[in-house]
Structure 1
Amino acid sequence: PMGNITTIPRLIHQSWRTTSDIPDRFEPWMQSWLKFNPGWKYVFWDDADNKKLIDGYFPEYAETFKMLPAGVATADFARYALLYQFGGLYADADFECKAPFEDLLGRYEAFLSSEPKAHAKLLENREGVFICNAIMASRPKHPFWKAVLDRIKSQASSGMTDPVSLTGPRVVHAIFNEDLDARKGVELLPEEYFYPEIAYWNMESFERACETITDWNRVECQSLKDHPKGLYTKNTHAVHHWQCTWCRGDQTEKRIDIQKIVPGLIRPWVAANVSASPEPGPLINPDPLSPLSLKTVPPVSNPPRNQSA
């Protein structure tokens, strides 16, 4: 049941800088989440929503949030906060769903996954499994996210500027490996679940790394040869398209609005006052994830649980 705090709720969270400048090539990928997960609620957050989320629910992190470089770092911070506050599934906008996520819900309190081994080995010369923060799911109030937020808070004033280390996958990776209490109940799923493909735009780098085959790179280089279109298995639920708009410059000409991608979507904070001005007022809707504020596709067959306080 949705009310059960130990399970991951049927919420899909996605995010972009604003609601109106989403690269149009993301459209089919974003729509895929609704297609494969009917009855889930879809929530879309922009930078302004992220700030409201922190100010409204996490005043203890408001100063930290202000200190972070705007853009990738603040978006990273907000995704951990919303998973803590509401739970659900967070997926980057360049992630495409390939199968229903229903079967993963009851099994875990939270789950993460790791980027392709070829990335770590061939691009960064690093051995091992590297956790990625582009797709993550959780029950509400899991202590793992609090530990991640606290770690970021502790290093926010350090002068560190690289978002990967300051707020990104390296932080999630560190907490998972170092804080065994916080990570209780967090499952690390193999890369085939969500990362069957490598960053093909960076193919030249992979080819250079595989020019000389050694014991170090043999397995990964062979795998790239054997699976030029990705390592898909029966466990593959989604695929990351590695657009990395922040690190390689945005390639897009055409931009579209979230309302075109998910027609009829009502923004999380507007729900309390839908008929008023399109700008949400200064007051935060006390329950931004009330049924009114989300698009459920299609209607859920079982009646929603009693919403009265």
Structure 2
Amino acid sequence: MQKIPKIIHQIWSGVDGPLPKEFKTLGETWKRDYPDWEYCYWDNKKMIEFVKSEYPEHWYVYQKYPFNVQRWDAIRYLILEKIGGMYVDFDYESMRSMEEILDNKTCCFSLEKDAGGLFRVFNNAMMMSTPNHPFMHKIVKFVFSRTTLIPQYTSKNLTIFNTTGPYALIRLYETLTPTEKQDVYLIPAHFVSPFTGLEAEEIRLGVENQELEDCLDDAYAVHYYVSNWAKTNN
């Protein structure tokens, strides 16, 4: 069985400003806890060169997305399909290595806490994959279809979520057969997303809450849901 390559990818385009100090600090936690993994930082120049050289057939859609965050979503799927490894957003903190739970896994996504309803909710803030994984290929095929450029939604958020973001991923996952789903590991939230968005905001504001502190007992990583992209116009 092909293993997930030991390489961590993080992207920060620099288009909306330099990498904030707090994100740089969080990025260092991944280097600390995965010392034998390669660490790859992707800026805008490197992302553009990668698409043009490795996926020229997708360049038209990539540069036609109306919002930059769609590009930053889409590039992470290309990176994982071509190179493989772990992609993680800069608002994620590593608490300890999760290599033990990645053993014998080929494609992983992090479930979000308190995901109720019919569908299991996961996002693209943390993903792992072997190169050329069938589900990652399915994602790339959809994300770079020209239908994603057709105006269909009433807001920036809905456009992003449904074309390159979590809603698109969840819909694609639900089209998989039971056998195909077995090859996509949805990491339990208490391991990688122990807080909801509102709870994460409390933590960021320094609110003391023992119940929230206890949520960290099993955590390998923590998502802080900073969502800088939602605050920009591009």
**What is the match of residue 11 of structure 1?**
7
Greater C-alpha radius of gyration: 1
Q: Which runs of 5+ in 1 are unaligned?
A: 205-224, 251-309
C-alpha distance in structure 1 between counterparts of 2:5 and 2:105, whole Å: 11
C-alpha distance in structure 2 between counterparts of 1:200 and 1:243, whole Å: 11
Q: Kindly state the Cα deviation for residue 242 of structure 1 after the two structures are TM-superposed.
A: 0.8
Q: Output aligned runs, 1:64-213, within 5 Å.
A: 64-117=61-114, 128-154=119-145, 155-160=147-152, 161=156, 162-180=159-177, 183=181, 185-200=183-198
**What is the match of residue 215 of structure 2?**
231
Normalising by structure 2, we get a TM-score of 0.84
C-alpha distance in structure 1 between counterparts of 2:111 and 2:58, whole Å: 27
Amino acid paired to 1:56: S
Contact 2:109 2:186 in 1 (8 A): yes
C-alpha distance in structure 2 between counterparts of 1:96 and 1:72, whole Å: 21
Normalising by structure 1, we get a TM-score of 0.64
The alignment status of 1:39 with 2:36, answered yes or no, reads: yes
Q: Per residue, is there more helix in 1 or in 2?
A: 2
Contact 1:197 1:230 in 2 (8 A): no
**What is the match of residue 206 of structure 2?**
none
Contact 1:116 1:191 in 2 (8 A): yes
Contact 1:95 1:241 in 2 (8 A): yes
Q: Secondary structure at the match of 1:22?
A: coil
Contact 1:99 1:237 in 2 (8 A): yes
How many aligned positions are there? 219
Q: Deviations over 1:141-170 (max 9, x none)?
A: 111111111112233222145211110011
Q: Which runs of 5+ in 2 are unaligned?
A: 203-208
C-alpha distance in structure 2 between counterparts of 1:46 and 1:195, whole Å: 26
Q: Secondary structure at the match of 1:156?
A: helix
**What is the match of residue 240 of structure 1?**
223
C-alpha distance in structure 1 between counterparts of 2:189 and 2:113, whole Å: 6
